[in-house]
Amino acid sequence: MPELPEVETMVRGIRPVMDRAKILELRACPCDRKPLSISPIQPEFFERVRGCSIDSVERLAKRVVLRLSSDDVIVFEPRMTGLVLVSDPPSVEHLRFEFRLSLNKLRHSVWIWDRRGLGTFRLFTKEEFENALGGYALGPDALQISAKDLHHRLGKTQRSIKVALLDQKLVAGVGNLYASEILHEAKIHPQTVASKLSLKRVQRIHTAMNRILLEAITYEGSTLSDGTYRNALNHDGSYQSKHRVYSKEGTTCVSCNVSKIRRIVQTQRSTFFCPRCQRK
């Protein structure tokens, strides 16, 4: 968390004030918490971006990407608790960086915020970006991959389908929360071996993946009980009200109204499913 819908919401929230804006200054905010991983070191990073225009604001899997007029590329990966904000932050002490921008003769700021300091902030040359995140570094985006390609990729792994969906080299953008929700809607048990899934069953996963991710974007992502995820205006997402299984262990499944939602652990992550709707 954040996953594809949350990062897409971030990108849509900052695009109106960052796209085509000029970076007057990038500065580090006073913070005594665990620092974000930043590369290159701050003086070089800040100097290279100063005076550049932002040519585009994009999402790459679960990353925010800013392409600059210099052909350099800024990549922010929020990981567990990172946010990009155009409004007041949830807390001042967790502010990390401030973009001071000029757009249409108006000046404004965009902030990078991270409560736990697990995010990464990178500046790449165009070539470095392609080497690090292009080609085969990431799989196809979850909203762009075809059902046939997804079936082909899943057919190469003996891992369980839930674990396979989290592999960003297989399909990019899906994380722990949405994987549980997708498999529930597709009626696929999370421990099913990925390579044993028929094309028809993968098509169900593909359909569920597109519907759920797009709906979650419409609702501006999911803000969980810890309240960490916020959109660019520092408001909660609202897709959590649509969750059917995630973090609902012991509650009655809203799909069948019979079984209780179960929780298991796969690769040290919680998986939630209905044993009646998702038969093994």
Beta bridge partners of 227: none
Q: Which residue has the tokens 């909660």?
A: 236
Residue 204 a catalytic site member: no
**Annotated catalytic residue: which of 3, 6, 181, 220?**
3
Of 213, 211, 198, 212, the C-alpha closest to 148 is 198
Residue ranges of E strands in 117-213: 120-124
Q: Which residue has the tokens 């974007």?
A: 217
**Annotated catalytic residue: which of 20, 262, 269, 276?**
269
Residue 269 a catalytic site member: yes
Tell me if 161 sits within 8 A of 183, measured CB to CB: yes
Tell me if 81 sits within 8 A of 227, measured CB to CB: no
Of 273, 270, 269, the C-alpha closest to 261 is 273
CB-based contacts of 223: which residues, under 8 Å, 6+ apart? 229, 230, 236, 237, 238, 240
The C-alpha atoms of residue 92 and residue 100 are separated, in whole angstroms, by 17
Beta bridge partners of 95: 113
**Annotated catalytic residue: which of 8, 59, 62, 159?**
62
Beta bridge partners of 98: 27, 111
Residue 2 a catalytic site member: yes
Residues with a catalytic annotation lie at 2-3, 62, 269
